[in-house]
């Protein structure tokens, strides 16, 4: 895809549903008793992979494009899949579903695409094995394909070395089936959508500081789920509105759960003109309309406990930093190396190609803003967040930019380019 500089943006956009919440709605809906209706479900490839996997385990799931209806089979109602479970590009499906599969009375195999086959799975294999799971990496490289032979599990108190909602959630899902209580303590609090939805579905779960504690369940109860817009998708519009001259964008109905709102706090620290108007608070998942206007930005330091609350937004924030005066330091973000691509290297290499003053560090990057970007050929590495971030950069760069693999936005935001185009000033 080829992209050129734009004059400005104006108007309103509603971004698709939150990816994390959409995945969890399929998993909990499948395990619950009764019918779960999901509104605002993200119709992106990753979440469709979750639907596909649970259908293979006997769950009737109807998806008409606006409502997803799940006929739950109860906590112990899944059936052995006849085929491998293909998660595509989805790390969330792989890790959360592994926690469920570890406790079933059947054996299953998880496969996925080239990116999934490189992502670390030892981080879930370790705690799940401590619970008694039989989970094996087929190639012995601690990556998918994974073979999981269901076992009786016991609760553990797990001190996670990494702030990861996927690890935490895998253990909490397994904890639903375990004997005794299960807890996970993290070095910094990661997104809490699992905990919030567990509570909604009737699970005995509590959170104390950096620890989440779950008691085993006999039964989960179906619930209507309303998925807010994904702040990770809103991030591209927030950045576009702030860095493009003569712009004003309102993003409607964005989830602003405090475990996800780090980008808003960073924008404010950088001097952004950003207004957040809370619109509703559905089951602990608050939403807001966010309005951004072209702003004079200054660099800042981003690190510590805020990192898990903006981890997926760092590629977009790196673009923002290129348009801020002075230095922006992103640190404590080594997790970026094990996302859909190595997001430190891919951001640094591609931004350098556009003329940015940026360097990679062990745990993040340092950006000296203010240098004009120019068009370049950008390799997205088929990472959706890289493609969307560089689309925003390209619209603020001299000349033409070509994004290779641009269609990978299908993973989390199939209509991204159309929605962005609608806001461009003529």
Question: DSSP state, 7?
Answer: S
Question: DSSP state, 424?
Answer: B
The interface region with ligand S3P, picked from 33-41, 158-166, 178-186, 239-247 by CB under 6 A, is: 158-166
- In angstroms, what is the minimal distance from the CB of 52 to ligand S3P? 17
Taking CB atoms, the residue at the shortest distance from ligand S3P is: 20
Give me the 304-323 binding string for ligand S3P, x by CB under 6 A, dash otherwise. -------xx-----------
> Can residue 164 be called a binding residue for ligand S3P (CB under 6 A)?
yes
* Alpha carbons within 13 A on the beta-carbon side of 45: 18
> Can residue 165 be called a binding residue for ligand S3P (CB under 6 A)?
yes
Beta strands in 112-224 (DSSP E): 134-137, 146-149, 157-159, 182-185, 205-208, 211-214
The interface region with ligand S3P, picked from 3-11, 31-39, 161-169, 258-266 by CB under 6 A, is: 161-169
Among 200, 230, 335, 410, binds ligand S3P (CB under 6 A): 335
| Residue (164 or 295) nearer to ligand S3P, CB | 164
- The set of residues, in sequence order, having a beta carbon less than 8 Å from that of 319 and lying 6+ positions away, is 239, 243, 351, 389, 390, 392, 393
- In angstroms, what is the minimal distance from the CB of 385 to ligand S3P? 8
| Residue (166 or 212) nearer to ligand S3P, CB | 166
391, 406 Cβ separation under 8 angstroms: yes
Give me the 16-55 binding string for ligand S3P, x by CB under 6 A, dash otherwise. ----x--x--------------------------------
Nearest residue to 394 (alpha-carbon basis) of 412, 360, 420, 419: 420
Interatomic CA distance for residues 377 and 394, integer angstroms: 10
Interatomic CA distance for residues 419 and 43, integer angstroms: 15
Query: Interface residues for ligand S3P in 184-203 (CB under 6 A)?
Result: 190-191
Among 30, 92, 104, 250, binds ligand S3P (CB under 6 A): 92
The interface region with ligand S3P, picked from 78-86, 142-150, 163-171, 204-212 by CB under 6 A, is: 163-171
Give me the 267-306 binding string for ligand S3P, x by CB under 6 A, dash otherwise. ----------------------------------------
Q: What angle do CA 284, 285, 288 make, to 5 degrees?
A: 130
Catalytic residues, by residue number, are 312
- In angstroms, what is the minimal distance from the CB of 137 to ligand S3P? 17
- In angstroms, what is the minimal distance from the CB of 46 to ligand S3P? 9
- The set of residues, in sequence order, having a beta carbon less than 8 Å from that of 104 and lying 6+ positions away, is 78, 80, 150
Interatomic CA distance for residues 104 and 133, integer angstroms: 10
- In angstroms, what is the minimal distance from the CB of 228 to ligand S3P? 14
Beta strands in 244-339 (DSSP E): 248-255, 273-282, 285-293, 297-298, 301-302, 324-325, 327-330
> Can residue 411 be called a binding residue for ligand S3P (CB under 6 A)?
no
Helices 343-353/314-322 angle, 10° precision: 30
**Interface residue list for ligand S3P (CB under 6 A):** 20, 23, 92, 164-166, 169, 190-191, 311-312, 335
């Amino acid at each position: 895809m080829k992209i050129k500089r734009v004059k400005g943006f104006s108007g309103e956009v509603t971004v698709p549903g939150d990816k994390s919440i959409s995945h969890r709605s399929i998993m909990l809906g499948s395990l619950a008793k009764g019918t779960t209706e999901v509104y605002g479900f993200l119709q992106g490839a990753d979440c469709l992979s979750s639907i596909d996997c649970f259908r293979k385990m006997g769950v009737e799931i109807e998806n008409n494009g606006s409502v997803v209806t799940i006929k739950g089979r109860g906590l112990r109602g899944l059936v052995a899949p006849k085929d491998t479970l293909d998660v595509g590009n989805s790390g969330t499906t792989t890790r959360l579903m592994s926690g469920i599969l570890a406790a079933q009375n059947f054996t299953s195999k998880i496969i996925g695409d080239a990116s999934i086959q490189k992502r670390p799975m030892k981080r879930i294999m370790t705690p799940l094995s401590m619970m008694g799971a039989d989970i094996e990496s087929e190639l012995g490289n601690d990556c998918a394909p994974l073979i999981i032979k269901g076992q009786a599990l016991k609760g553990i108190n797990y001190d996670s070395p990494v702030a990861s909602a996927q690890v935490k959630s895998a253990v909490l899902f397994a904890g639903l089936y375990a004997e005794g209580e299960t807890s996970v303590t993290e070095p910094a609090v990661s997104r809490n959508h699992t905990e919030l939805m567990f509570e909604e579905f009737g699970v005995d779960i509590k959170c104390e500081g950096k620890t989440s504690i779950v008691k085993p369940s006999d039964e989960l109860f179906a619930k209507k789920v309303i998925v807010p817009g994904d702040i990770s998708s809103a991030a591209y519009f927030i950045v576009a509105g702030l860095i493009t001259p003569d712009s004003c964008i309102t993003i409607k109905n964005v989830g602003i759960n405090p475990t996800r709102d780090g980008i808003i706090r960073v924008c404010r620290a950088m001097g952004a003109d950003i207004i957040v108007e809370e619109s509703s608070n559905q089951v602990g998942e608050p939403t807001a309309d966010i309005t951004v206007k072209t702003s004079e930005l200054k660099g800042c330091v981003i690190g510590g406990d805020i990192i898990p609350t903006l981890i997926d937004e760092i590629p977009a924030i790196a673009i923002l930093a290129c348009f801020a005066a002075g230095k922006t330091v992103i640190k404590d973000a080594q997790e970026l190396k094990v996302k859909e691509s190595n997001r430190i290297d891919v951001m640094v290499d591609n931004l350098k190609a556009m003329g940015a003053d940026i360097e990679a560090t062990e745990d993040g990057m340092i950006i000296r803003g203010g240098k004009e970007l120019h068009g370049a050929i950008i390799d997205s590495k088929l990472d959706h967040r890289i493609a969307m971030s560089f689309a925003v950069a390209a619209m603020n760069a001299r000349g033409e930019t070509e994004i290779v693999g641009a269609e990978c936005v299908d993973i989390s935001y199939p209509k991204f380019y159309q929605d962005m185009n609608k806001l461009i000033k003529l």
